Structure 1
């Protein structure tokens, strides 16, 4: 796709703002068809599917936020003139074509597209069948905005592929693919990594851990745990596991208090063997692989550890490398935890629910990357470009 100037891209986004507002009722009506057809047993997926007036407003705000951000394309990263007088300039450049595969969440159709387009990338959207009606009308909105500004609809395109067709497309794309971003559960991520033939940037699962140190402020710990677990159970930044140092003063009493508080919020409490001896009314885990699961449900696993090192080892062994937190009043201990835990975001005395582009000052996000290349954490506008070298000479040859 050709390079577009900033004004052209921004004009498309201005059109999209108006179109989303004008089509508000139709978008919500299309989404109702998806909601009515959905099996509500998977509450987390159902929650992600809902589009209401608040959600449309959030889509509009996401477009507006990207509209107001600086164009990330063509920014000079370095400029060197060598001894042989070659001028070497490194600048930001678009990836080209990005494919995002996601489940539920029609708002991704807006956020992913606005970011990719502003960064001058073509985007292919492979949404889940559960959001088909919602995604179709949102694609239609994008196409109106593009055509109104004299641009091809190919900039933003929804793919209508079944699972076996998606597999074939990943192995032998019918058009150029430069980057694939799977945004969903572990099954989806493994499916894409198994079959893709181009670069894959993983938007990883959560399975986030929190460690309560013996030097923690207990009331602070409880507040953070409740928020991280219950604020939005369908979020990939929601809390799944809590590790508690057994040397905390009044350890048994505090465990019982935490269980009571969680159950007041309708959270099912699970426990390891040691904690279960104290909280024997909780469900004791019998299989070690539970430590690796992302719950996306109102349940939480509490385990006992002896010290900071054991907590760090547990987290690095089992977590999804998304977000991890420590509750402690010892700053040195917090820094040791944050340095050694291998996660995209690490927290001291704060909820993991802040791992979000908008909350972290990045703005709208394509996904939360748990990969280390080329970027880790929220994938915002500035992260949707690569780089390119421009070398200017006057007949120089290498000798």
Structure 2
């Protein structure tokens, strides 16, 4: 599809969202009222207000401004016999994304896939049906107004069993599946899909506070990392160097600031002896858990090596942070921690396509193939070999 047409569709959709702002908010309020039993984390992901609508519009403008992901030349070679071989980027084809709560995915994820020339099938959760249905209608109007097949963006209102059948039997000839949800959903897709899967994995992100550190800065990184509890780039675990000076005073300072921000602090029996404001939790299984709640777990480690080992064993492979004044330790941490994004003295909350400058994202991949981290339009392509001859045969 021509880049001018793709950008025209995205611009039209942006106009329609501005025009229908109140209708989108009304549909979203209906969704929220329909499921009053939702926890705060899910409500946060589901809610659409003027700010979120503004973010949708901004993401569409950013994607429209990007270079065309299709047709980029990766390799060009002409053999001595004149056979010309070129490798270029091409769309995957049809992408199925399965997600819950977040209606902004209906705009941002579809925009990234569409910009790369893909068709997209959207399967959201029942809790966001009214919002997603309206947003899909706006998508399809933007497509139709530009004489593009409206089936480039489809919303699938399927039951649980129908969704499982789609995954198992690939009845819609899907080329790629991106599940964004809990462990059960991801595992089901991985176990049952016959097509490639990109896992938008869980968070469970760790922050390590080294012994040589500006502790007030480190505390602010932790606080900011818990600013939103429902997002996958939130901090859940804080590891503190055992040899830190004034460790008791500093831990109390950290806990005080967290509690003032409504965050419950947990830790094992060793750290509760240092600060009795920390709630005791000795089950090691908590180290694997993504909380999606106003909860944070604090633990002591002997050194940088132990911190790296713990993160690589227990984290979701999403994001990890080191707070330190030691440049050598920062380098070692960032090289050896096995996460999609690693930070030195910066908040985990920047792990986001928009913050990284790639515009809207379809997912944050915690896999190493086909790509890792925020997936924008430039990553939603595969490659294809184009070979040009004049009757060439291989002897």
Do both proteins adopt the same fold according to a TM-score greater than 0.5, normalized to the shorter chain? yes
Of 296, 301, 308, 1:300 maps to 296
1:9 aligns to what?
6
Matched, 1:257 2:253: yes
1:172 aligns to what?
169
Q: Distance in 2 between matches of 1:280 and 1:15?
A: 57
Q: Are the counterparts in 2 of residues 20 and 141 from structure 1 also a CA contact under 8 Å? A: yes
1:63 aligns to what?
60
Q: Distance in 2 between matches of 1:396 and 1:152?
A: 39
Q: Distance in 2 between matches of 1:297 and 1:312?
A: 24
SS in 2 for 1:277: helix
SS in 2 for 1:346: strand
Q: Distance in 2 between matches of 1:382 and 1:41?
A: 35
SS in 1 for 2:274: coil
Q: Distance in 2 between matches of 1:210 and 1:271?
A: 14
1:277 aligns to what?
273
1:326 aligns to what?
322
Deviation at 1:40, TM superposition (A): 4.5
Measured on the aligned residues, the alpha-carbon RMSD in Å equals 1.1
Q: Deviations over 1:35-69 (max 9, x none)?
A: 11123541111001111111111111111111111
SS in 1 for 2:194: coil
Of 32, 39, 42, 1:42 maps to 39
Q: Distance in 2 between matches of 1:295 and 1:187?
A: 16
TM-score (norm 1): 0.97
Q: Are the counterparts in 2 of residues 209 and 242 from structure 1 also a CA contact under 8 Å? A: yes
Q: Distance in 2 between matches of 1:381 and 1:175?
A: 22
Q: Are the counterparts in 1 of residues 267 and 282 from structure 2 also a CA contact under 8 Å? A: no
SS in 2 for 1:243: strand
Q: Distance in 2 between matches of 1:44 and 1:96?
A: 33
Deviation at 1:382, TM superposition (A): 0.4
TM-score (norm 2): 0.98
Equivalent residue runs for 1:239-388 within 5 Å = 239-388=235-384
Q: Deviations over 1:176-228 (max 9, x none)?
A: 11110011222221222122111000001000000011111111111111111
2:182 aligns to what?
185
Deviation at 1:281, TM superposition (A): 3.5
Of 217, 221, 224, 2:214 maps to 217
Q: Are the counterparts in 1 of residues 266 and 278 from structure 2 also a CA contact under 8 Å? A: yes
Aligned residues: 395
Q: Are the counterparts in 2 of residues 79 and 90 from structure 1 also a CA contact under 8 Å? A: yes
**Structure 1 residues 276 and 238, CA gap change in structure 2 (3 angstroms):** same
Deviation at 1:375, TM superposition (A): 0.4
Q: Distance in 2 between matches of 1:280 and 1:41?
A: 32
1:95 aligns to what?
92
2:111 aligns to what?
114
1:133 aligns to what?
130
SS in 1 for 2:97: strand
Gaps of 5+ in 1: none
Deviation at 1:273, TM superposition (A): 2.5
SS in 2 for 1:132: helix
1:74 aligns to what?
71
Q: Are the counterparts in 2 of residues 208 and 241 from structure 1 also a CA contact under 8 Å? A: yes
SS in 2 for 1:386: strand
Deviation at 1:343, TM superposition (A): 0.1
1:235 aligns to what?
231
Q: Are the counterparts in 2 of residues 170 and 192 from structure 1 also a CA contact under 8 Å? A: yes
